[in-house]
């Protein structure tokens, strides 16, 4: 969280956001086109988000919820769980062909080998990106998402434009994320549900052969495991 928000406290920030944005929502959200996917600092939270923020602030003010406990939960998902768990799975698959084979055949069992378990009983499917196939993940009905592996979902993943356009025009959406997928590459869109969640196994970047498993895991981003980004390697990382 930015330091400017820390200075007033997370609770105060939530309360201010909920109160200040409510009036803007009532009058609409000028300047935000229906196809905008990249979050803007001026974007107004959805009505549901505002209600949640207001409810959280109310519960804290009445002493029914411990703000420190809430902060620990948020911090766990933001910095300790996701996307580090998923990145470790990807890195292991890159360096261990046998593990990769098990991951693609039965992702849930393979992930348990690394100590990661399904928290809600949902099945997990691993999708491999190759030079000829690019996978991307969406949830058209709501925002089903592999929390134990990727942590908190990004705002754009839950947005209506992404959820609708990812299915209708996946190449166009990927281009907005900076990925220009060639016509010789098949783009496959996978729709998450409450029963089945997906994680993309991105292509390993060229020049990373000498990196350790930990170093490889540090390269893997949440967006790459959703199929909206590639894993890249800088010149410094190549030199080690």
Least confident interval from 26-35, 78-87, 138-147, 203-212: 26-35
Please tell me the predicted confidence (pLDDT) of residue 43. Answer: 58
Q: Hey, is 138 helix, strand or coil? A: strand
For residues 188-200, average pLDDT: 95
Q: Hey, is 124 helix, strand or coil? A: strand
Q: Hey, is 108 helix, strand or coil? A: helix
Spatial separation of the C-alpha atoms in residues 189 and 174, rounded to whole Å:
11
Residue 171 has pLDDT above 90, yes or no: yes
Peptide bond into 225 cis (omega under 30): no
CB 181 within 8 A of CB 134: yes
Least confident interval from 2-16, 54-68, 146-160, 176-190: 2-16
Provide the pLDDT confidence category of residue 215 given band limits of 50, 70 and 90.
very high
Helices (H) and strands (E) in the chain, counts: 13, 4
DSSP sequence for 161-186: HHHHHHHH-HHHHHHHTT----TTSE
Least confident interval from 75-79, 104-108, 189-193: 75-79
Spatial separation of the C-alpha atoms in residues 142 and 138, rounded to whole Å:
9
At 125, give phi and psi (nearest 5°). -120, 130
Please tell me the predicted confidence (pLDDT) of residue 42. Answer: 52
Per the prediction, the chain carries an average pLDDT of 81
Query: Parallel, antiparallel, or unpaired: how do β-strands 186-191 and 196-201 relate?
Result: unpaired
Q: pTM above the 0.75 mark?
A: no
* pLDDT (tens digit per residue) in 97-133: 999 999 999 999 999 999 887 656 689 999 999 999 9
What's the sign of the alpha-carbon dihedral 113, 89, 174, 105? Answer: negative
Catalytic residues: 139, 142-144
Beta strands in the chain (DSSP E): 123-128, 133-138, 186-191, 196-201
Please tell me the predicted confidence (pLDDT) of residue 44. Answer: 60
* pLDDT (tens digit per residue) in 32-75: 334 446 555 455 666 777 887 888 888 888 888 888 888 887 77
Spatial separation of the C-alpha atoms in residues 11 and 17, rounded to whole Å:
10
Looking at CATH, the fold of the domain delimited by 82-239 is given as Nitrile Hydratase; Chain A (3.90.330)
Spatial separation of the C-alpha atoms in residues 234 and 208, rounded to whole Å:
10
Domain with CATH 3.90.330.10 in the chain: 82-239
First and final CA of the chain: distance in angstroms?
30
């Amino acid at each position: 969280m930015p330091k400017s928000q820390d200075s007033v406290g997370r609770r105060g920030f939530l309360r201010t956001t909920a109160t200040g944005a409510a009036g803007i929502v009532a009058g609409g959200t000028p300047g935000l086109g229906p196809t905008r996917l990249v979050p803007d600092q001026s974007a107004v939270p959805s009505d549901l988000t505002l209600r949640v923020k207001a409810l959280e602030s109310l519960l804290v003010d009445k002493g029914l919820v411990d703000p420190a406990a809430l902060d620990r939960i948020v911090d766990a998902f933001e910095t300790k769980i996701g996307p580090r768990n998923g990145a470790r799975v990807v890195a292991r698959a890159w360096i261990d062909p046998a593990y990769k084979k098990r991951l693609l055949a039965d992702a849930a069992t393979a992930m348990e080998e690394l100590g990661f378990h399904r928290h809600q009983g949902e099945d997990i499917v691993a999708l491999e990106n190759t030079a000829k196939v690019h996978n991307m993940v969406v949830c058209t009905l709501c925002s089903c998402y592999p929390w134990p592996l990727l942590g908190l979902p990004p705002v754009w993943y839950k947005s209506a434009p992404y959820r609708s356009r990812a299915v209708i025009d996946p190449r166009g959406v990927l281009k907005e994320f900076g990925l220009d997928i060639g016509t010789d590459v098949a783009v496959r869109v996978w729709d998450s549900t409450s029963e089945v969640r997906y994680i993309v196994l991105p292509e390993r970047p060229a020049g990373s052969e000498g990196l350790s498993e930990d170093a490889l895991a540090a390269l893997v981003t949440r967006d790459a495991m959703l199929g909206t980004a590639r894993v890249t390697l800088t010149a410094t990382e190549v030199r080690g």
